Structure 1
Amino acid sequence: MEALFGILLLMALMIFGVPVAWSFAGVLMFLVWAYDVSTSTLLLQGFRSLDSVILLALPLFVLAGYLMQSGGVAARLISFMSMAMRGRKGGLGAALIGSSGVFGAISGTATAAVASIGTIMGDPLAARGYPRGYTSALLGVSSLLGILIPPSITLILFGVVTRQSITALFAATIVPGLLLMFGLMLFNKIVTARMLVDTPERMAAISAQKSPHGPLRATLQALPALMMPVVILGGIYGGVFTPTEAAAVALFMAILIGFFIYRDLTLSRFRQSLVEAGETTGTIILILLFSFMIGRIMVAESVPQELTEAVTHLTENKILILLLVNAFLIFVGMIMDDLSVTVVIAPLMMPLMVHHGVDPVHYASIVACSVVIGANSPPVAPILYMACRIGKVSIHEAVKPALQIIFYVALPVMLLVTFFPELSLFVPRLLGLH
């Protein structure tokens, strides 16, 4: 009962606007009081949990993402994708989705994709007749491709708190990520076929936005950016370097490309990126510290085992249990941010999943797909709110298209991933990682 109240307290604190890290601190204080836990031992266990080489990848990937955002990588990717999709109705929307996918395969964060791609593409999409509400909704969901397509900061956190192989987790979400990307492109093609009308204003905007440079120049300019995921993922799966070393390589390439190839990265922007990355990393580390200690308390009090027994008494049907887990993950994702779902709720339900024969690597894909839905669903919907701010539109105009995208694309992908484990396990097994 105390653990359940702790989770409800965490949700309530977030709803009332308490910063995420301090919401975790408030829950930790309550659980320490409720279970009469020794804080000195708990703090020692928490700091020991942070002593992980894998966690070094976190600040490196975060900083690499910020440097790519300010170093011209997103702009070249968008130019290349727009060129590849030229001449097709809805092509610019598809370019937004493709750019989010590729950028996610470099930075590993949704916020960087929203900020970079949304800032560059918002006005051109509006000029071509895309409603800003629809554009913001599409951007919000597409940006979460960065969670599914590796490398992913969310999957790094999941691997740390559940003691799973980061490399195997990266491989597990490749197919779900590609399914979501192609699903979004198909949805965009169907919707824009009737939404975009070839008015004189729209045709004039298309002519005005045509690049003066040919396809060859756009491709050559984007080549350094496109090589980044190839080097990073190829190095990880080829056994050349670990995920932590891959993060260092990503950071080195971001600095090299930003300063010396694109030359958009200045010392001022570099300094600003360092500050922003430090703030983001500090917040995540605080959340991890508090979540580790909360997890220790819950394990000591047998909360995961009690949850497993309670659900098992309710039903033994694996299909119903998976549907219940899906519904619960989506529900908490609507109220809590992706980090909270990953570091608190996901580990809490891990014993239940393992008890019913769900592979932990498969479970990671289920959690990642749920984050895509929850992060764009009211009342909290942090990614959708951010996309609306950048897209210069009210959240009310984006909710309906966002829910349509979730219902027709994200939710079916989540159900496919849930009930067809091979979609997640095929690539890790093919690469000998699982």
Structure 2
Amino acid sequence: MSRAAPIDRYPWVLIGLLWVASFLNAADRSILVATMPQIRDEFGLSATQLALVNSVFFWVYAFAAFASGRIGDATRRSRVIAYGLVFWSVATGAMSLALGFGMLLAVRATVALGESTYYPSATALIGDWHGDRMRSRALSLHQTGLFAGAGIGALAAGLIADRFGWRMPFLVFAGFGIVWAVVLVRFLRDRAASAPKDEVAAADDPFRVILRTPAALILCGVFFLANGASTGVMVWAPTFAHDLLGLDLTGSALLGSATINLAGFLSVPIGGVIADLLRRRFVLGRFHTLAIGLSIAGLCLLPLIVATTASAVALVLIASSIGKGLFDGCIYAAMHDIVPPAARATAVGLMTTLGFIGAGLSPLLVAGVSGTFGLAAGMTSLAIAYFCAVLVIVAMGRLVRRAIDARVV
């Protein structure tokens, strides 16, 4: 057998290794969403307190992600990923020890600190191993792990919590994470030819490269709007289903979380394929895909305000999530189009920072609106953020062309 064969296969082995890590990254954060009704009842939490427990995760994640991206551009990305998985898995297990609102906030923030290490380095590592022609598809295939983890994780958490209480799912998923971290330490590796130090001179800091690229900064703003909108829906959908339809935790997780993530799981690879095909025909192909996806997400979310049956709620959530999945299938590849390889982890870290600031604000926005107009109205109002993001993408076309022309892919 040729010695080159394992090297040729490794880019796709890498996707498999990171897919499981992405699954766990999303599953661990979704446990809380699935078990919120039990936690609310045990500790007597208000809607605002529940929103804060979710929001503190996104705010800590947001500011830590930028630092994680900087680390990922300065050191071995494979080790940042593996050791980060150990950290957030231990923190996830510690959630089971929470005795009240304050401890929930503190431990949830610690989980966020660990999880923030993953996406900046993981997406950059995939970009190192996959060229421009296949990059959207590789990244979108990896991204399906996020949707699978969020959907299956929430469903499994609901099933376990219905039988053993809300603390048990945190312990179960923590154990899986530690086991997989051992696998990553053994098999995950960096591509030496794409080492960050070979791409950007020491005097040309990756952050400065991004600051000189207006399209990259604006794309971070787009992610702020899109991720904020989708997270607001994701956080409140299980509770919305639970309260509107009187479902147990398993049923509310199935309707309010698994449907969203199944739709995303199926549509993200399609978004990657469409984006790669359009990119070959048009310089702005991936950005066209972003705009199409968010347009669908916003339009399909609007009917939620009048949905009163399980089938109607499921249809709205699935349709909107398909649009968001098209966006997610190429957002990282779009950023890779406009920044050099050695600045990609920092760029994704900055984008994640803004995206998760939006994710932290949107549950509070929904809680505030729902206090006056109801939860359905609060969730539906997030369509405005999708539409604003589409307008920004359309307006930034000239800047994107300039950024792509300025670098060698």
Query: What is the TM-score normalised by the length of structure 2?
Result: 0.34
Query: What is the TM-score normalised by the length of structure 1?
Result: 0.32
Higher helix proportion: 2
